[in-house]
Structure 1
Amino acid sequence: MTVVYVDSVFVLNMLADYLLVYAAAQLAGARLRRLRFLLAALVGGAYAVAVFLPGLGWMSAPPVKLAAGVLMALVAFGGETRFLRLTLLLGLVSCGFAGCVLALGLAAGRGVPMQNGVFYTNVDMKVLLISAASAYLVLTVVFRASAHRSGAGGFMIPVTVGFASRSTALTALCDTGNTLRDPVTGRSVLVASAEKLQPLWPPELGSLLTPSALRTPTEVMERLASSSRDVARFRLLPYSAVGVESGLLLAVRADWASVNGKRRERLLLALSPTPVGDGCDALWGELEG
């Protein structure tokens, strides 16, 4: 007879599920909503406990397991534009993690204690943590290596931008073809969709920095000069693109930005009047990570 301690089952599976959701978000370059990830992990831990409760053995059936996984994905990633892709990635990361756990357990000569696909009380915590770290490392290296081989970055990173007392989160594509640079510092310029930056502006700026208005950046600059006390933050940046005539983008200097977890002071943002790409809010001209 197998003795199972539900508190251990809950804690171990909650930790594993948090690592899985966090790893999937990191690999996809999604926003790191840690509170939602924690709630998703709590759902996973509660499901693991329910499987062992009297009369609930039916919850170990494959359709119920699949439904529990989708519920975790909804809690963690609901509202994301790439929800289906994130859900599939979460499944792949889970399979990779399970494979690492099994391989390390067999290598240690003692197997992995599981019942109905759930870790229970005598899981070696060291094996679990090493497995989680190994799975995360291997998957990160594989995804990042394929991105580098694409020749243009090709992977998403989280970006948060701060202006005055406001901030907004973006998803940026690492694109080494973006060679736009800050003429003052020489650093890369973050080219962002003007529509996605709307929550960043106070009312007096929001009415001026609309996507339609930014199609004529020189006119916007004139209006800023006559109506905004923050005009010193703004400048016009010349750009050129393949198959497109050269032009100007209005740029603004943010107070701060966090690019893939690295803080950058007074980063220059170029405001694009049109969307910058499929599934991303901004373009970043440096490879991160």
Structure 2
Amino acid sequence: MPVVYIDVVWLVNFAMDAVLLAVTGWILRRTVRPWRVLLGALAGSVYALSVFFPTLSLLTTWPGKAAASLLMVAIALPWRRSLDLARNAAVFYMVSFLCAGAAIAIHFALPAVSVAQGTVVAANRLAFLTSLGSLSLIVACPVAWAGIRLLVRHLRMRAWLQATACTVHVVVAGKEVVFTGLLDTGNRLYDPISRRPVCLVEAEALAPVLPPALAAAETERWLEALSRVDDAAWRRRLAVVPYRGAGGTQQVTVAVRPDEVRITCEGRSVRAGPCLLALHPNGLSLDRHFQAILHTDLIMGDDGIEDAVEQHEDDVAPALATDVDSSAAEARGRQRRGLLRRRGRSAAAAPDPGGGGVSPQPPAGRR
């Protein structure tokens, strides 16, 4: 006859609930307090003991399980609205399913463990009885934690790339290229002479608009290729820009002065100001998600927005001028009326030279 130790069941559930709640708070980036996590785990572990009491069988139903899980999440994680609580509970369920799946997979991956060993026949139906060992639970926790961290980091990185990646249209000498650029607030590279912002662009992305001598040159011979550019107009477009590489080494590269750069990000198109596009010999993204690192100064001046603001100012300027003139006229009128009233009161209150007192003047026509 199997023996079940209630204290062991309570301790295992307490530890597992604490881990699940902590992982849920980390995924949601909530400010989680340890005592709240432990209090929520305590509520969950006490609920797990209800299976040993027949009078509490109602708690083991689906509504009871949902209510218990919501109580755990409400205690452990901060929330203000019901939508926040529902979001916290959804992530908690996801983490629980992942950890449970990892525990079951590790349990049956162990030697001498199979589904057939837990198969019984009940009411002409097959039933599978599984009892996860302590080793499976111990191994499943770090495995599930590592898997969730990798998944969440990947999803966050993808979301960040999608939010900061922009489509870049570059026109140089009548030729146009289109590539994807990444807005990087850490890019503070400027041309030391012209003080123009510098963007790093893969040489392969700019190859269609480069002069043949520079496009065909190898990376180590870019500076030598500048002397072979015969077109005087192209020579004025090229510059040499120093920059610091990823390893901290000082390097020099060739940069191009484009005729026009237009950046489209989140449905808004921005015409960038004067800038330099520096050639980068290697790929900037391992998965080829972007081909350039853009300078944030390129999107600080939106010509479209500035034109709209100027047009709006031109449209409302006459109306504003009329309002100002009328307001000023009203103010001057009020000042004159107030001055006349004060003068009238002063004249009425002036002492009579012959009587030594104040004699009010009768109104006109009423002598």
| TM-score, structure 2 normalization | 0.39
Structure with bigger gyration radius? 2
| TM-score, structure 1 normalization | 0.48
Structure richer in helix, relative to its length: 2
